[in-house]
Structure 1
């Protein structure tokens, strides 16, 4: 491992750890002011739906939400807060028992000068869990900047979140930047459906990068993020909230397959590192390493 990568990883380890669905279904999960997101509970006033065809643009210390015509419909402040659950802000190489957040995942950090320009992953929608205790399960591939203060991700979800949801599986893209959260339409899917989550670098200029996240072939699930820092951490992740019993998980395992990463020039040296909550019988394993057709399996209790 090169010294640059080693220092980045060490610094990260020392940091603190089909139809649209209405938002209202998710707003009574914990209380009326906090909603679940792929970063845990967040104040509802900081969580925003991105209109179809809209985008999120970083402009200095401001965050602009634009509609499909390019009109600014919301302006927020970027406080550069770390995302609570992410590869860049993990505290250890293991997960504590009964922990919420990222409970099983694999990650890779791009230390090359060439940026990731495409990151795709395919997986199958699991069976609905045997029990429903208002738990929320997120499964996704994602990328983050080195700072750990943003994350872009196409997400499969069971249970409620700020985007909506219930006792069924659904998909949406999410962009979390600082304390602000943005999500696309949530589209219901069925057990056994094949999914492909795609994150693409659409353009760049200097230190400003523009990305898009979506599910292939599922309209309404796209988010465009412009003016971003370069995104370097790639992950395959299981994230959970409100789990009370092993039966709150699906049975068996989820295989993230056809994991393909390309960079703007050259070939990435890709080796996936795994993190598991083995105390709760959640394990992450790498079946195939590398940047082309890699495979990661997350096994449930």
Structure 2
């Protein structure tokens, strides 16, 4: 009897020790870099900025006070992780599904990148899908992207079954966005990204929808941004009717350089299986035009 009691006493500490489980219930939200933990997503207050400081990312308010600091893990975003999973007749697109791109290989930097486009009709069906449409610009490393974004559906910035706009800056695994402003079909948008200054390897940029208050965002001490794109990105699409009818036309695409003019030829990626077709209507750096056809075009 004594030996059994001794065995039970020795076993007791081990039977009481429960394994520590890692939490996996953090809310996940949609962003133009995919599905991300909500703790990695941050609103940039009006007049604030996102500043890269060595291997850190600082979120500042309009007074220059630091609101948040994160480590830059240099995770790939934008075109570097642009993959789409499709299923032919029944689309289930995730990510960049149709886009045009151009890489600046000149020694001069892009000083501004403007694109105009008209907000499409509201999709016929609503399956809680999210559609992102934007012009954007990225560094050669592919670990950041700056973009003025038209959105239908929900995202980390808000939204729903209506069109809205905001500017986004994604750096590694961290996501930053401006206020989300509701808009409507037929509105002509102008997404503008501007190089405001540079010093050595540090480049400072502003992004906004021209004339729409609250959509401005500032990114400072960035690497030079060299990849320009015109993009359709989607999440949660289940039927062709989850897209608007017709086409999306990015027009008045104008690229300016710090000096000279670039030789610009846009390349395209399409999802032919799901009838999402990207076409360069007009090549070049001045008044170029890119069209993306939806399945019901």
TM norm structure 2? 0.88
5 Å-filtered alignment, 1:223-238, equals 223-238=217-232
3-state DSSP of counterpart to 1:297: strand
- Partner residue of 2:27? 33
What is the CA-CA distance between 1:32 and the residue it aligns to? Answer: 5.4
* Matching of residue 87 in structure 1 with residue 43 in structure 2: no
**Correspondence for 2:63:** 69
Is structure 2 residue 111 aligned with structure 1 residue 136? no
2:160 matched to 1:157? no
The answer for the alignment partner of 1:59 in structure 2 is: 53
Helix, strand or coil: the match of 1:64? Answer: strand
Supply the distance in 2 between the matched residues of 1:180 and 1:202 (Cα, whole angstroms): 23
1:189 and 2:183 are equivalent in the alignment: yes
Residues 244 and 96 (structure 1), Cα distance of their counterparts in 2 relative to 1, 3 Å cut: closer
CA distance in 2: counterparts of 1:63 and 1:201, whole angstroms:
19
Judge conservation of contact 1:163–1:185 (CA < 8 Å) in 2.
yes
* 1:297 maps onto 2:296 in alignment: no
Structure-1 separation of matches of 2:239 and 2:161: 16
TM superposition shift of 1:95: 7.3
Backbone CA RMSD of aligned residues: 1.3
Match of 1:112 in 2: 106
Name the SS of the counterpart of 2:212 in structure 1.
coil
SS of equivalent to 2:273: helix
Partner of 2:173: 179
Q: Which has the larger radius of gyration?
A: 2
CA distance in 1: counterparts of 2:251 and 2:76, whole angstroms: 29
Deviation at residue 87 of structure 1 after TM alignment = 2.4
In the alignment, what sits opposite 1:50? 44
The answer (yes or no) to whether the contact 1:88–1:146 under 8 Å persists in 2 is no
C-alpha spacing 1:36/1:60, structure 2 compared with 1 (3 Å): same
* Structure 1 residue ranges without an equivalent (≥5): 1-30
1:263 aligned residue: 257
TM-score (norm 1): 0.87
State the SS of the aligned residue for 1:87: helix
Residue in structure 2 matching 1:284, options 265, 278, 283: 278
SS of equivalent residue, structure 2 residue 260: coil
Find the residue that maps to 1:151 and give its secondary structure: strand
User: What residue is the counterpart of 1:23 in the other structure?
Assistant: none
Shift of 1:96: 4.8
Distance in 2 (alpha carbons) for counterparts of 1:139 and 1:55: 23
Residue 168 (structure 1) aligns with: 162
Deviation at 1:34, TM superposition (A): 0.6
Residue-by-residue CA offset, 1:138-164 (whole Å, 9 max, x unaligned): 000000001110000000000000000
